[in-house]
């Protein structure tokens, strides 16, 4: 796994918000299939990650693969954890989750300045018992 990707995923898994925001540019902005409003700046990153860590205190990311071309990174990841706190207005269920997603990251000066997150929101909702299983 290329150095920056491995370091980023290790930071996510540390749950250390100060360490995580070091990978992002001050003018960061994103789009995420799960959220109607983009997050902006380092405070947006901090709030996003804190929310996920509160909801899934044991949240663990695995980088399944990545493609890097110049200042662009496509990161294919897997996230696993136990739903123990509120997320997306969903109260804790105590259920385990295992979802996959893709992050398209744009770098400026070695920091993540733009990100687009596409992940299996429906799969998360199914695992939390809020959508029926697909047969």
Which is more confidently placed, 131 or 15?
15
Taking alpha carbons only, the member of 68, 75, 76, 96 closest to residue 84 is: 96
Residues 127 and 30: their CA atoms lie apart, in Å, by 25
Its pTM surpasses 0.95: no
Q: Measuring CA to CA, how many Å separate 90 from each of 55, 86, 98?
A: 9, 5, 17
Q: Which of 127, 123, 117 is nearest to 35 (CA)?
A: 117
Using CA atoms, how far residue 49 sits from 9, 16, 25, 71, 131, in Å, is 12, 9, 15, 23, 24
Residue 2 scores a pLDDT above 70:
no
DSSP line for 56-105 = -TT-EEEEEEEEEETTEEEEEEEEEEE--S-BTTBPP---EEEEEEEEEE
Predicted local confidence at residue 135, as pLDDT: 78
Q: According to the model, what pLDDT value does residue 133 have? A: 86
At 102-114, the pLDDT tens digits run 999 999 999 999 9
Res 1 pLDDT > 70 = no
What is the per-residue pLDDT for 134?
A: 81
Taking only the tens place, the pLDDT of each residue in 23-75 is: 999 999 999 999 899 999 999 999 999 999 999 999 999 999 999 999 999 99
């Amino acid at each position: 796994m290329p150095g920056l990707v491995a370091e980023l995923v290790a930071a996510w898994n540390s749950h250390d918000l100060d360490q995580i925001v070091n990978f992002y540019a001050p003018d960061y902005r994103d789009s995420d299939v799960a959220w109607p409003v983009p997050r902006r700046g380092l405070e947006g990153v901090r709030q996003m990650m804190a929310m996920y860590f509160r909801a899934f205190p044991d949240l663990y990311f695995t980088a399944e693969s990545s493609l890097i071309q110049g200042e662009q990174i496509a990161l294919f990841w897997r996230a696993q954890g136990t739903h123990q706190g509120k997320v997306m207005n969903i109260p804790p269920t105590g259920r385990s989750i295992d979802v996959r997603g893709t992050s398209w990251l744009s770098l400026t000066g070695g920091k993540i300045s733009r990100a687009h997150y596409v992940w299996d929101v429906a799969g998360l909702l199914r695992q939390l018992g809020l959508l029926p299983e697909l047969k």
